[in-house]
Chains A and B, each alone.
Chain A
Amino acid sequence: MGALANVTKTAADTLAPIITVNEPSSGKVLPDMRAIGRSREVLYFLTWRDVKVRYKQTAIGAAWAILQPLISMLIFTVIFSHWAALPSQGVPYPIFTYCALVPWTFFSTALTQSSGSLLLNERLVTRVYFPRLIIPLAAVCGTLVDMGLSSIVLVVMMVFYGIAPTIGLIFVPFFVLVASAAAIGLGTLLAALNVRFRDVRYIVPFLVQLWVFVTPVAYSSSLVPEKWRSFYALNPMVGVVEGFRWAFLGVPMSGVDLAISTLSATAMLFVGLVVFRRMEDTFADEI
């Protein structure tokens, strides 16, 4: 340990403020958030690259971000409102489902993109160093931009249906935060697992496909039997979707659901970051 003391002492003598020590394991439980803060420019540029590249050489460009939830809305309206006659809590069904599709599309896309992000950026992982967490984070941030675009359509629809926004709108950033926490948590977890277990890329599409059924996107959460509600709300997107409908459309929501969903999203974020931290040291060797 004499060497260690020596290093610390001599390091203090240099003017260079940044000292990097590369050792077998840093022993930290969570990723180094300050390092991520220092690398925010990389986060910004990777996000910018993702957004810019996603719709390059497509005929209609960023309109895809709007078209996806819009087409889902049309299909849901025909099937679930016209044929299955599902109730929509007193709001016109198209806007009822679109209001849920905005955060849902964000969540499902963010999850898909972030879980594949490390493999997609393999060259960066093996050739350059910056905090690895930046890569799945950038994928989620890029999807936020898409959500911004699809929200514009929501506003247009509100004008069309003559629905006045509620004061609850100020909570929308919070709901977005909950959805982001869940997407980042699960996305980083799957991204890290994906480096070692390529099974993940088959699981994710299936997972997303099933997940939409346990989220009140096409239907109202009021249809869920009371005794199942708390369990149901463990899905963070339940609270987020209910919150969106409450804030934009004035549909009543359950505070308990939101609390459970928020806790669940926080837990996902925590687990995702811990697993990511544990596995990130070997990414470059294993990818």
Chain B
Amino acid sequence: MSAPAITVEDLGKRYQLGEREQYMALRDLLASAPSRLLGRMKRSEDEPGDVRGHTWALRDINFEVEPGEVLGIIGSNGAGKSTLLKILSQITHPTEGRAVMRGRVGSLLEVGSGFHPELTGAENIRLNGAILGMSRSEVQARFDDIVAFSGLERFLDTPVKRYSTGMYMRLAFAVAAHLEPEILIIDEVLAVGDVEFQEKCIGRMSELSAGHGRTVLFVSHNLEAVKQLCPRSIWLEGGRVRDDGPTDDIVHRYLQQNVAMTNAGAWTDVRNANRMGTGEVQFEGVCFCGSDNAEGAPRSGGRLTVDLVVNAHRPVRISSLAVKVSIPRGPLLIEADPLINSDLPLELDVGQHRMQVEIESLDLTPGSYTIGVSMGRGGSGRAWSVFDAVDDVVRLEVDGGFHSQTRRGDRPVVPSRSTLNHLSVPVRRAQ
């Protein structure tokens, strides 16, 4: 049995709060004696006066990763995921404890690190390869594969400043995907790019771990991707390991904790929710209510109104807008999509829009459900593309109803009759 690829022991990282240490003005420097200056340079944390304003981004982190293992790291924003990866990649140092990596470490905390807009695609491949730790001969040997993976053969001699965002990401990920260190550390890089490309990237990562025996650490808000890639996951919360185990269990518990009960009539901010999609237009807020009274909980067999605020980053045409009601972490029961069967796609200008989907009859037994929403485009011969999909954002309580003809459990999903009201013109417009 070989030693673990990664050993993390009692790791902690403390950050100074506030701006005191940063952008220090020269007069502060001149005012203090040179000896004090040297002391400050050494370790600012050691100064007794600085103890007051600090926060532990990570504390008491312990875990091991076996060679060839693929470990997912999940947690909400600010849980310490990025700090952990930065320490493992040696970008920053821990305040206490230690991390030991056995093997060449390649980290990908950002796609296209060191890309220079003035350089051509081919030049950036070489530059980025070197920065990520590939030798010149390695880059040379994999150059054709990288280009083929990116699908940008025709644009290799074009400066990347003329690339679209999508092309830029393709090229950047293509280089990173051909990095073959023993330990690969990846942060949230799948948040960009279209679904097809994300699939390609996930495919490449599982290939690296399964086929080449690489140890992979993968941080993502995309829980589906984590489930797909990582048999084991660590759940970080408030800088500590909350849970460590098989990904399915961890994700299950994580979701349970994070989908809190939502009151009817209250807006839920979904801007920072876990989501999938290309992001041209995104959900910002979700609110539901029973139509009988605005604050009352929806009733079984009654009407359900879901209000949505979406923000279009560019003009888009939407041919699907779905509200999905499911049992928490269970099967999907209702899918209401007022657009999908109509031949009139919805054209959205840049800016915020408010929309309302009305489900005429909520055929559900009383109980708890979750609501998810998605927007997309496609149909009739065109490939589907999902702009934005947010699952399980809102917890819905359904009260006892008018009639007993309700659905629950494992019956097939039937499209519900629903109508769409496009309530408002864009609130703000691009120049």
Q: Chain A interface (Cβ within 8 Å of chain B)? A: 3, 7, 10-11, 13-16, 18-25, 41-42, 44-46, 48-49, 52-53, 56-57, 121, 123-130, 196-199, 275, 278-279, 281-282, 284-286
Contact = CB atoms under 8 A, between A and B. Distances in A.
A128 B131 contact: yes
A130 B133 contact: yes
Contacts of A14: 2-3, 67, 102-103
Interface in B89-106: 89-105
Contacts of A23: 93-94, 97-98
A209 B107 CA distance: 42
Interface string B114-126: 1010110001001
12 contacts: A11-B3, A18-B104, A19-B100, A20-B90, A22-B87, A22-B93, A41-B135, A44-B136, A52-B119, A53-B116, A124-B131, A128-B91
Contacts of B118: 52-53, 56-57
B41 A278 contact: yes
Contacts of A7: 7, 100
A130 B133 CA distance: 8
A21 B99 contact: yes
Contacts of B90: 20, 22, 129
Given A11-B102, A21-B99, A129 B94 contact: no
A123 B114 contact: yes
B21 interface: yes
B132 interface: yes
A201 B149 CA distance: 42
A41 to B, nearest CB: 5
Contacts of A24: 93-96, 98
Interface in B363-387: none
Given A14-B2, A285-B15, A41 B102 contact: no
A188 to B, nearest CB: 14
Interface residues of B, number: 57
Per DSSP, chain B at the interface is: loop
Decide if the interface of chain A is mainly helix, strand, loop or mixed. helix
A156 to B, nearest CB: 30
Interface stretch (B23-31, B276-284, B312-320): B23-31
A278 B107 CA distance: 24
B22 A286 contact: yes
A20 B29 contact: no
A121 B115 CA distance: 11
Nearest to B105: A20
Nearest to B181: A18
Nearest to A53: B118
Contact of B102 (A16, A44, A129): A16
A92 B354 CA distance: 79
A134 B144 CA distance: 28
Nearest to A8: B100
A21 B135 CA distance: 22
B88 A22 contact: yes
Given A196-B24, A198-B23, A199-B25, A45 B126 contact: yes
A197 B37 CA distance: 12
Given A11-B3, A41-B135, A197-B24, A20 B116 contact: no
Contacts of B23: 196-198
B130 interface: yes
B392 interface: no
B163 to A, nearest CB: 16
B305 to A, nearest CB: 45
B227 interface: no
Contacts of B310: none
A82 B123 CA distance: 48
Residue of A13, A128, A130 with most partner-chain B CB within 10 A: A128
B100 A275 contact: no
A197 B133 contact: no
Contacts of A196: 21-24
A52 B132 CA distance: 20
A22 B114 contact: no
